[in-house]
Amino acid sequence: MIYLYRREDHHMKQDMQVLDKSVNVKADSLIALTCFILMLGSAHFLLKTAQDVVVLTGLGGSLIGVIGLGVASASPEFFTAVFGLKQHSEGISLGTLIGSNITNPLVAMGGGALISTYWVPRPLIYWDLPMETITAALL
């Protein structure tokens, strides 16, 4: 990671000399507002479609929600990794995949734990988790 950071820092300094800053604030604000409205419209369409799928299939809403969130949260990392490989930037692909596979589960489990009313049974805390940790460390 240190090697990638130093190498990328060198490229960033070269690229920053080429970039021009935008001076048209009104045009930039209009583009940002348009993109925000498109994002809200597409989110509404996605949620309406998910609701229709739940009604038509009879599956649980939580199952459809988990699948939708999984696909939505994995897509940016997946496409970043694929485009990084296409441009022969293996470091970007590797960093994206490692970072997303660590961050996404931790954020999802932590967020779920914050809003959940589920309580963890004592045997899981005192027996299962320590044994799983020891087994993983030994392997």
Q: Give the number of residues written for the chain.
A: 139
CA dist., res. 112 & res. 114, Å (int):
5
pLDDT band at residue 113, thresholds of 50, 70 and 90? confident
The predicted pLDDT at position 14 comes to: 57
Between residues 73 and 88, which one has the greater pLDDT?
A: 88
Tell me how crowded residue 13 is: count the other CB atoms within 10 A of its CB. Answer: 9
The neighbour count for residue 119, using CB atoms within 10 Å, is 6
Per-residue pLDDT at 17: 54
Among 67, 73, 30, which Cα is nearest to 49's?
Answer: 67
Q: Is 61 a residue whose pLDDT tops 90?
A: no
User: What pTM value is reported for the model?
Assistant: 0.46
Whole-angstrom CA distances from 74 to 5, 30, 34, 67 are 24, 29, 25, 11
Greater model confidence, 97 or 85: 85
pLDDT value of position 133:
86
User: Does 19 have pLDDT greater than 60?
Assistant: no
pLDDT band at 42 (very low <50, low <70, confident <90, very high): very high
CA distances from 50 to 30, 61, 71 (A): 30, 8, 13
Judge whether 77 and 97 are in contact, CB under 8 Å: yes
Residue 126 predicted with pLDDT over 80: yes
